[in-house]
Structure 1
Amino acid sequence: MRHPLHPALVHFPIATWSLATAGDLASLLWGEPAWRFAGISIVVGTLTALAAMAAGFIELLKVGANSPASRDVNRHMLLMMATWCCYAASLFARLDGTTLTRPDALGIALSATGFVVMCFAGRIGGKLVYEHGIGVRERHGA
């Protein structure tokens, strides 16, 4: 494949997890419709993140160990794994068997923590592209 798949896939978990955290906070005012939306969004984000993480791991293998970007690549990967764990734990905290239930304070806190960690990971992901040129092809000719 000529274009890295990872940048195309990351939009799904980022969007759904962001909406999930907004839904969790909105559920404090609007109740069930908001927390149900948040729960479904976390399910979708957690599943789509697996594909984005797999594609990111393939991109990681292309970065040499001596590359100036390797430290940031590893930080980005670890922070995104922590993000996934926060949202997965939030999901499990709101499940009763296979039924979504109203999240308690822990479920909402895990969602909010996941969002904050994701923001830091995204900043490093941007640095990988815009400062290190990871996943960017040089254009030949104008």
Structure 2
Amino acid sequence: MVTEEHARAKRPVSALLAGPYGHPLHPVLVTVPIGAWVASLVFDIASLCVHDPAFLTRASMWLIAVGVLGAVAAATAGLLDLVAIPAGTPAQRTALVHMTVNLLVTGAYVGGFLWRHAAGTGGSVGAGMLALSAVSLGALGFSGYLGGKLAYRYGVRVADETTQAEGYTPSRPSR
């Protein structure tokens, strides 16, 4: 049974800022920090394998910055999705954990960027910086699992079943 609150969680608070019904912006925007931070870790590892790692450590640092900016944009859209979820529900609790983990991860990457900026980018990335990126990326993966649970299990910002059924109704052949 779909309640009014459940149906409201599927609708955007602001279609302009969060994306229209059935097309939320948050899942699209999260690709920026995920891609930037994964590439940053790849560059960090690669910096340990080359003779002159400065270009890789510098690129990694700036990829972290791009990821942080993307995370701010994704968080804005995600917050708009969060406010539509009914209070006291498993979906809201999952969303709050998802948000908290993402804020911690973003904070860790901000700290990592500042650490790298202060240390300079002349050599390969240090073990501590590499570990911070790896742990942060692992936490981001856990948060992504929670985001998937919100969309695929609880249906947050996912079109209702009646709308989805349109995609499975055979079209009549034209004559």
Normalized against structure 1, the TM-score is what?
0.90
Residue of 23, 30, 44 corresponding to 1:10: 30
Q: SS where residue 90 of structure 2 aligns?
A: coil
- Using the TM superposition, give the Cα deviation of residue 100 of structure 1 relative to its aligned residue in structure 2, in angstroms: 4.7
1:57 correspondence with 2:79: yes
User: Structure 1: which 4+ aligned runs deviate by more than 2 Å?
Assistant: 99-106
Deviation per CA, 1:35-61: give whole Å up to 9, x if none.
Answer: 122111101001111110111111110
* Structure 2 match to 1:19: 39
Greater RCO, CA 8 A, separation 6+: 2
Q: CA contact under 8 A between 1:90 and 1:106: conserved in structure 2?
A: no
Residue of 107, 128, 134 corresponding to 2:150: 128
Q: Which structure 1 segments of 5+ residues have no match?
A: none
Residues 90-109 of structure 1 aligned to structure 2 (within 5 Å): 90-96=112-118, 100=121, 102=123, 103-109=125-131
Deviation per CA, 1:92-122: give whole Å up to 9, x if none.
Answer: 110139x655443222221111101001000
Q: Which has the larger radius of gyration?
A: 2
Q: Which structure 2 segments of 5+ residues have no match?
A: 1-14, 167-175
Letter in structure 2 aligned against 1:131: R
CA distance in 1, matches of 2:165, 2:140: 37
Taking only aligned residues, the RMSD between alpha carbons, in angstroms, comes to 1.8
Q: SS where residue 121 of structure 1 aligns?
A: helix
Letter in structure 1 aligned against 2:32: F
**Which stretch has the larger CA shift, 63-72 or 117-126?**
63-72
Question: Cα gap change, 1:70/1:101 in structure 2, threshold over 3 Å: closer, same or farther?
Answer: farther
Percent identity, aligned pairs only, is 33
